[in-house]
Chains A and B, each alone.
Chain A
Amino acid sequence: MCAQTNKRKSAHDENIVIERCKKGDLSAFDELVRRYEKPVYNFAYRMAGNYDDASDIASEALIKVFNAIGSFRGEASFTTWLYRIVTNVYLDHRKRRRGRGDVSLDEYLELDEGSVPRQVVDTAPTPSEEFEIRARNDVLMRAVGELPEYQRMMVLLFHGQGLSYEEIAEIMSLPIGTVKSRLNRARLALREILKPTLELFD
């Protein structure tokens, strides 16, 4: 009951912020960015697989939100509307990237003495969690990265961002049934990828 009231209250607060944003109020936009930068950045990071692209995608998407907020009529939820923008920006970004010859993190470098895995400097803020949690997350992220793009997008929207089937269906312009079955397939695929390593962390 209380949680529900809080939820309604925060939705009400959000509507006020959005309305102020529509009038071009920068401090309201600042507030909106403060609320959503983290989930948007995380989604972009998981999709793009590196911090640089994630920054570009998140910034571009948030700026698009500022430019387009006048056209947001509240027919869908704000989150749905936001993630539709973010996914579109990601897809555009990927299209532009395609021609540029990205390197795969899993690719092996050929040296005279044989081949070694590519090492990439991790510029992320280093979390202070214990090794095991880190290792476990690494395995999970690698597995999510192996999923086909649309499945990955759905998994991240559903599990990472906590959106509902209905919201994802709206964002990706797909029937709910398709979202459900693809998500199902994605989870099963993940399970297969994770199977050998999950036992390690039992």
Chain B
Amino acid sequence: MICDEARDLFSEYLRGELDYGLQSGIKDHLDACKQCRADIALLEQTWTMLDEMPMVDPPADLRHNVVVQAARIKFQQENLLKPKSALLSVIDLIIPDKQRWGMAAIAATIIFALFLKLPQTAIEHFAGGIKPAIQSSERVAPIDKNIASNTAKDRKSAWLGRRLARNTLWVSVDRRLGGNDKMLCSVTLTVNPEAFLPNVGTRRMGVKMHLLQNSGAKNRRLLTDDPIWQGAVAEGTPLMVPVILDRTGGPIDLLVTWNYGSREYSQVVFIPSTEAAVPDSSANADMGDCKNMYSFMEAVASQYGVPVVAGLPVCRRSLSAKPHGDNLKEILGSALNPAGLDWLLSDGVIYIDKALAAQE
């Protein structure tokens, strides 16, 4: 076998893909030819390098943006033939864009206040233990009892509400720190900019989160009556909420409820547990630190209204109110530095991650 013939088959030879005759032919040639031995060693090295080609991380918001865009497309497709409601057309005509937001904010405040005061919510219903099972993530708990009446028109409107329930608020969970049993994850709440009920002029929702003991579809109970978090989410500013899950005592997931228009919707948010912990996270896998950090973070979050995000910055637009400068930094430093956690305060969001400390 001459060198040129052998070289053409080096790749297959390295993978052992040649038939016995050719394979041993090349081996014989290699034994005899120093130049080809050097060549194939170099090729093998190249091959190994290619196989170990490093991966770069995609931008943190790539996934979020793609899913938001997909949701927009889906909503447009579903509503392609639906004409704009007369009310919205009138609003378009009589209220200029700039003023509309102000009015929307006022309306939202009123609606949100109403929402907080309403005694009969789905949460209380579930927590009361009469019907512990939540059947599906699409369950719609109407506050307005009339909607349950049986005229064709009402059925249609109930159906519209049900369909929109999945569109109005998106909940995505990014697990950031901890192990399988105990973990700290960030939950992102985003108002779908394209979703709206025809008779509601605001895109702001009151949201509550409960921990849900989740042993199968027929055995779900709220862990506590009080929500672990409640607040408002407005369109255009996705909000990130830190949540700690302690599953040592059994499976726990999240129940997110939100009100929109005059109704309350709920969704069970499943948090996967099969994935390995983020390897380069600065938190220890044992949750001692994480637990302390979380209780600390809870305090910070309630005192300053600042969302805390552990891990990479997924979204920097998550807060409109700014934290109170140096004072907060001092508190953060004294709590997080001894735990060996690096942190960064930026744009009103606290990020906790080893890599981010360099940017401070």
Contact = CB atoms under 8 A, between A and B. Distances in A.
Interface of A: 24, 26, 29-30, 33-34, 37-39, 41-42, 45-46, 51, 54-55, 58-59, 62-63, 66-67, 124-129, 133, 136-137, 140, 144, 155, 159-160, 180, 183-184, 187-188, 190-191, 194-195, 198
Contacts of B70: 26, 29, 62-63, 66
Query: Which 5 pairs across A and B sit closest by C-beta, in order of nearness?
Result: A41-B58, A159-B50, A66-B70, A62-B66, A184-B11
Given A183-B11, A191-B39, A191-B42, A127 B62 contact: no
Given A41-B58, A184-B11, A26 B66 contact: no
A63 B11 CA distance: 37
A38 B65 CA distance: 14
Contacts of A198: 42, 45-46
A26 B74 contact: yes
A7 to B, nearest CB: 15
Given A55-B62, A187-B11, 13 more contacts: A24-B74, A26-B67, A26-B70, A30-B63, A38-B58, A42-B56, A45-B56, A128-B355, A133-B54, A137-B54, A155-B50, A180-B12, A184-B11
B39 A37 contact: no
A24 to B, nearest CB: 5
Given A127-B54, A184-B8, A58 B46 contact: no
A99 B166 CA distance: 43
14 contacts: A26-B70, A37-B58, A41-B62, A51-B59, A54-B58, A58-B58, A62-B66, A66-B66, A66-B73, A125-B56, A126-B355, A160-B53, A191-B46, A194-B42
B40 to A, nearest CB: 9
Contacts of B49: 136, 140, 194
Given A26-B170, A41-B62, A33 B50 contact: no
Nearest to A63: B69
Interface in B36-82: 39, 42-43, 45-47, 49-51, 53-59, 62-63, 65-67, 69-71, 73-74
Nearest to A195: B42
B55 A38 contact: yes
B128 to A, nearest CB: 29
B317 interface: no
B63 A34 contact: yes
Contacts of B237: none
A71 to B, nearest CB: 15
Contacts of B180: none
Given A67-B73, A190-B46, A41 B53 contact: no
Contacts of B57: 38, 125
Interface string B319-335: 00000000000000000
Interface string B7-21: 110111000000000
Contacts, number: 108
B8 A41 contact: no
A201 B8 CA distance: 26
A126 B353 CA distance: 14
Contacts of B46: 187, 190-191, 194, 198
Nearest to B7: A188
B172 interface: yes
Question: Most chain-A CB neighbours within 10 Å: which of B12, B45, B172?
Answer: B45
Nearest to B275: A34
A67 B62 CA distance: 17
Contacts of A39: 55
Nearest to B354: A128
A62 B63 CA distance: 9
Nearest to B137: A27
Contacts of A140: 49-50, 53
Contacts of A183: 11
A187 B43 contact: yes
A190 B50 contact: yes
A42 B43 contact: no
Nearest to A181: B8
Contacts of B166: 26
B53 A159 contact: yes
Contacts of B54: 127, 129, 133, 137
Nearest to B171: A27
A46 B55 CA distance: 10
Contacts of A137: 53-54
Contacts of B58: 37-38, 41-42, 54-55, 58
Contacts of A180: 11-12
A104 B149 CA distance: 68
Given A30-B67, A30-B172, A125-B355, A159 B51 contact: yes
Contacts of B65: 59
Contacts of B11: 180, 183-184, 187
Nearest to A42: B55
A37 B62 contact: yes
A20 to B, nearest CB: 12
A24 B72 CA distance: 12
